[in-house]
Structure 1
Amino acid sequence: MKKRMKRLAALSMAVLMAASMAACGGSGGGSSDGGSSSGGSGSGDDKEIVYWNIGTESPDKDIVTAAVEKFNSETESGYTVTSVPTQNDSYKEKLVVAMSSGECPDMYSCWSGGPMYEYIDSGFGQPIDDLFNNSEIKDKLMESAIGQATYNDHIYAVPYQNVSMSGIFYNKEMFEKYGLEEPATLADLENICATLKENGITPFALANSSKWTGSMYFMNLAARYGGLEPFQNAVAGTGSFTDECFIQAGEKIQEWVNAGYFPDGVNSLSEDDGQAKQLMYQETAGMLLCGSWYTGTFSTDSEEFYQKIGWFPFPAIEGSDADPSIMIGTVGDQFIVFNCEGEKLEAAFECAEAHLSDEVIDLGVESGKIPPVNGIEEKLTDPITIEVVEAANNASEIQLWYDQYLPPAVSNAHLDGLQEVFGLTMTPQEAQESMQQAMEEYNAQKAE
């Protein structure tokens, strides 16, 4: 019990410190709750299942709503699910505050990796092995998605939303106008950036008050410079986050900042408020590096504009021995974890199954998503979505996003330091030393 509370206190402090820093930086990310405002499991109705998620906007909102409505209209369990969506930026903070006060919801979506493991270790996630193994979704889900839902040899979550890979979206008409082609190498990409800049266009649309958006650049650069082994060794304690590939990634980012390849005031722009995509819509920026969920964002906002969009994976770096097929992303994207038992758990799991029903999967595909189910390729018609799946299938390895894979304290050190790198207020060496110190402190605490 003492160890559980110590873990939860550390988790809470890390998340709250990050939220405080974001607030000081004017992130603009606020709560956008819908449905019930009760939030906790003690809602006063034993037959209500409170479900927290980040489906505040289409298409995510539409997918969650469809799954919940399907469950509520078809279940014979006697339970009703109430969806409580919250904006991405404030979600982790809200979830940890709820856990700290004993008001964790009955079921909640989250990301795989470090934070999810911390929630489980703190007692806010139940193993679902028996329910899962007796369900049709066992054979429906991709093995890699099940793997990311597994912790300490037990299944704790239901992945449902997306195969999300990072890559670069670009304006095809703009490329054609200036005689540009999809790059094969980093040098090619930098030539594109220089051409766009010379013509008064910001090369990359980036809103980095959220911090994780800037991490997209760092993760891809580090993987292209050094592969995944330096990251894996640093996490294991046999290497360091001051490895050359991480320093090179930070230096390249600062080189691009100085060259004007990012928007002015990049660290004050809000991803949740749509300030990055607006630069693309206004055609004042030519490219956007982010997760492949942007196919759904673009197509939902404007199908006409989406026809202008192309996509390519982050290019290789000349002279690097790293495998250029490596992708950064997740197979599942959102994972439903359960904080209830008995009949309520069975009903909550039934609602999670509804997220993987044929009609909800079809809705996801229509919205540009790639649900993590076997044979999804047969349902895809969108050219970019097909490219993303091919890149994922051809990848030798897929690195989970750093801020999901790493323990919260280390993730926060990474994101905070990297934002300083983008702001030119910290050197890459200083940022990586801070991240390494956080990793060492976490490992020491874990060993106690």
Structure 2
Amino acid sequence: MKKRTKQILAALFSAAMVLSVTACGSETAEEKGTVSDSSKEEGGSEKIELSVSHIMVNESDSQVAAWNKALGEYKETHPDIVIKEDKADNDAYKTKLKTTLAAGSASDIFYSWGGGFSESFVEAGIVENLDSYVESGVIDMDKMMPNICNNFYYDDSLYGLPLDSFMGVLMCNQELFDKYNLEVPKTMEELYHVSEVFLENGITPLALGEKDKWPGLFPFGILSLRYGGVEENTALLNGEGNFDQEFVKRAAGELENLVEKGVFSDSAVALTNDEAKNEFLEGRAAMFYNGSWGVADLDVNSKLAGKLTVTNWPTVEDGAEHQNEYIGGASATLMVSSKSPHKEEAVEFAVFMSQKFSEYGYESGAHLPTWKYEGNAELSDMQVQLREMMEKADGFCLAWDTLLDSETADIHSNSLQGIYAKQTTAEEYIKAMTATRE
């Protein structure tokens, strides 16, 4: 999004806040952070009340279990603080959050998403700048996974703390590789070679369910990282420059070549992600490039148990200096209201929940950690391997559709689907994307 557009959005959002607050009249005692009688200790001294809004509502979800466990621990260790929750499911929450923030009545701590989703909140001055808390040591960045907060920086300042995380990984059926005396590819040249062998034997080299559109964003995204690196990709997605840059052209061209060489099935655009995953699990495809969610479970509770090799996408010749970067990172975040009457306690709560939610969710297999794991739970070998891959990574960048504005993201995903369907060329993709910023 161009700078001028951002300024306009911020101005409109601020105006909406003023109108909403005026329409709502004066704040109630509760909205101002005044503690009610119910928040007093038996001796009469007042407790601090923190309001928290979030999406953890589905009790059968392993992430919700991790959240509740962390919250229960916080309450036990902070008896002087009362937590007031306001929660809703994902879609309803997003609508409610925007309305609430525009009305100037944000919770002390609220669940949000990085990148473009929270940009207008930050620019409107609603979100607390966390830089001073990093400097004071309240937030210890050294205890977090590398570059995990990339999507929560605005104008080089930190505004959010990470929750769950993932990374794109190349899953390989080791049994098929062994059968044809092949090594798991470490370079693009090797990827093309093993693909030729699998095709000759009637096996799809790399399963893809592009009917759902989002799976096809992964191969393009990692190729863009391979040729451009995290910094250049992040700068581009944040509105710097246009899409006709050399690394984008090379990524689109490489993707088109992968399609032409048959690395992806001709039926990829007709398959859903679940169908493509099943093709891989049934041994009809040798590889599957997707998010790390559920990979640890595949290694235990699927036909590939004990036969699964997981690695990063192959490197490219003459690409970016660092070839150990991943699609992935953290998108969900906890933010603190700049209007909170208890900012210090709110930030400390956000830090506690961010770290403990990371730990408990990782232990249950719900997600990958955003903080370096310090627990002692018994973990599967695959969980440990995935965490070690994250810890050794040079950086992360989310798939482009997560960071682009919705209109550009649609053009991006539709044009890439056209490449997979052999109806759009790499050159046409670049032209369509470049036009979004002219």
The answer to whether the superposition gives a TM-score over 0.5 is yes
Distance 1:185 1:161 in 2: 30
Residue 71 of structure 1 contacts residue 350 of structure 1 at CA under 8 Å; is this kept in 2?
no
User: What is the deviation of 1:362?
Assistant: 4.7
Distance 1:152 1:55 in 2: 35
Partner of residue 279, structure 1: 279
Distance 1:288 1:123, change over 3 A: farther
Partner of residue 402, structure 1: 400
Distance 2:118 2:271 in 1: 28
Distance 1:308 1:54, change over 3 A: farther
Distance 2:303 2:86 in 1: 35
Partner of residue 116, structure 2: 114
Choose 53-62 or 276-285, whichever is displaced more. 53-62
Distance 1:414 1:228 in 2: 18
Partner of residue 36, structure 2: none
Distance 2:422 2:182 in 1: 30
Partner of residue 81, structure 1: 85
Distance 1:269 1:377, change over 3 A: farther
Any idea what SS the aligned residue of 2:370 has?
coil
Partner of residue 69, structure 2: 66
User: What is the deviation of 1:130?
Assistant: 6.1
Partner of residue 203, structure 2: 201
Q: Deviations over 1:299-329 (max 9, x none)?
A: 5x827744321112211234x2533524133
Choose 278-287 or 225-234, whichever is displaced more. 225-234
Any idea what SS the aligned residue of 2:210 has?
coil
User: What is the deviation of 1:217?
Assistant: 0.7
How many equivalent residue pairs?
396
Partner of residue 31, structure 1: none
- TM-score of the superposed pair, with normalisation by structure 2: 0.71
Partner of residue 315, structure 1: 314
Query: Which of the two has higher C-alpha Rg?
Result: 2
Distance 2:292 2:388 in 1: 12
**Letter of the aligned partner of 1:4 in structure 2?**
A
Distance 2:403 2:14 in 1: 17
Any idea what SS the aligned residue of 1:144 has?
coil
Partner of residue 334, structure 2: 336
User: What is the deviation of 1:2?
Assistant: 6.3
Any idea what SS the aligned residue of 1:170 has?
strand
Partner of residue 184, structure 1: 186
User: What is the deviation of 1:394?
Assistant: 5.1
User: What is the deviation of 1:371?
Assistant: 1.6
User: What is the deviation of 1:53?
Assistant: 5.9
Partner of residue 420, structure 2: 422
User: What is the deviation of 1:415?
Assistant: 2.4
Partner of residue 27, structure 1: none
Distance 1:224 1:143, change over 3 A: closer
Distance 1:70 1:241, change over 3 A: same
Partner of residue 222, structure 1: 224
Distance 1:51 1:356 in 2: 13
Any idea what SS the aligned residue of 2:88 has?
strand
Partner of residue 288, structure 2: 288
Partner of residue 4, structure 1: 10
**Letter of the aligned partner of 2:309 in structure 1?**
G
Distance 2:394 2:50 in 1: 46
User: What is the deviation of 1:338?
Assistant: 4.0
Distance 1:74 1:306 in 2: 40
Distance 1:167 1:250 in 2: 20
Residue 161 of structure 1 contacts residue 372 of structure 1 at CA under 8 Å; is this kept in 2?
yes
**Letter of the aligned partner of 1:145 in structure 2?**
I
Distance 1:322 1:188 in 2: 18
Distance 1:8 1:157 in 2: 20
Any idea what SS the aligned residue of 2:147 has?
helix
User: What is the deviation of 1:289?
Assistant: 1.2
Q: Could you tell me the percent identity over the aligned residues?
A: 21
**Letter of the aligned partner of 1:415 in structure 2?**
S
Residue 355 of structure 2 contacts residue 371 of structure 2 at CA under 8 Å; is this kept in 1?
no
Q: For the aligned residues, what is the CA RMSD? A: 4.3
Q: Deviations over 1:406-429 (max 9, x none)?
A: 444443432232222223332222
User: What is the deviation of 1:392?
Assistant: 4.8
Partner of residue 158, structure 1: 161
Distance 1:263 1:165 in 2: 23
Contiguous gaps of at least 5 residues in structure 2: 1-6, 16-30, 32-48
Contiguous gaps of at least 5 residues in structure 1: 10-40, 441-448
What pairs up with 1:224-303 in 2 under 5 angstroms? 224-225=226-227, 227=229, 231=233, 234=236, 240-263=242-265, 265-267=267-269, 269-271=271-273, 274-296=274-296, 298=298, 302=301
Distance 2:106 2:270 in 1: 32
Distance 1:56 1:216 in 2: 30
Distance 1:227 1:349 in 2: 32
Partner of residue 14, structure 1: none
Residue 227 of structure 1 contacts residue 326 of structure 1 at CA under 8 Å; is this kept in 2?
no
The answer as to 2:54 corresponding to 1:51 is: yes
Distance 1:56 1:174 in 2: 39
**Letter of the aligned partner of 1:426 in structure 2?**
T
Distance 2:175 2:420 in 1: 29
Any idea what SS the aligned residue of 1:116 has?
helix
Q: Deviations over 1:49-88 (max 9, x none)?
A: 33126989855444334334545666543324355343xx
Residue 222 of structure 2 contacts residue 327 of structure 2 at CA under 8 Å; is this kept in 1?
no
User: What is the deviation of 1:278?
Assistant: 2.9
Distance 1:232 1:129, change over 3 A: closer
Partner of residue 4, structure 2: none
Distance 1:279 1:105 in 2: 46
Residue 204 of structure 1 contacts residue 285 of structure 1 at CA under 8 Å; is this kept in 2?
yes
Distance 1:413 1:73, change over 3 A: farther
- From 142, 147, 154, give the equivalent of 1:144: 147
Any idea what SS the aligned residue of 1:181 has?
coil
Q: Deviations over 1:333-364 (max 9, x none)?
A: 53223458435877765654443455861551
Distance 1:63 1:363 in 2: 5
